[in-house]
Amino acid sequence: MKTYTATPKDIDHQWFVVDAEGMVLGRLAAEIAKVIRGKHKPMFTPHMDTGDNIIVINASKVRVTGRKAEQKQYFRHTGYMGHERYTPFATMLAKHPERVIEKAVYGMLPKSSLARQSLRRKLRVFAGPQHDHTAQQPQTLTFEKAEAK
């Protein structure tokens, strides 16, 4: 039995729109990463770009479970010695809600050049309900809203 490998002519990239309102951040990011990589398709090939494009709307209305809203921090380093910067989740969500989802999805993807390239090309995040990709005629993609315990 031969192993199936997708070829570029077999791959069809679709567009999906996801409403993040009321969704749990980590669970949403895991599902988005799965679609971006193409693992939801039977023709998934690890070394090929078989994934689909995702448009996320209402990024400012995403939620987190537990006490993450008060405790979660985002780290970055300026490049100078001792210049570590920590941004609280609430501040990041208020100023740049797109980055919250982008960073969460990045954490769910493998650390490879293909994954970084897919993230840059296939994920579009918008803070509000409007997006500028209506020409692509995206289909609505819904995920189960699993309640946190």
Among 118, 22, 113, smallest CA distance to 64 is for 22
Predicted confidence at residue 144, as pLDDT, reads 77
Using one digit for the tens of pLDDT, what is the confidence trace for 13-67? 999 999 999 999 999 999 999 999 999 999 999 999 999 999 999 999 999 999 9
Tokens of 114: 């293909």
Using one digit for the tens of pLDDT, what is the confidence trace for 110-137? 999 999 999 999 999 999 999 999 999 9
Domains and CATH numbers, the chain: 15-65+91-140 (3.90.1180.10)
pTM (whole model) above 0.85? yes
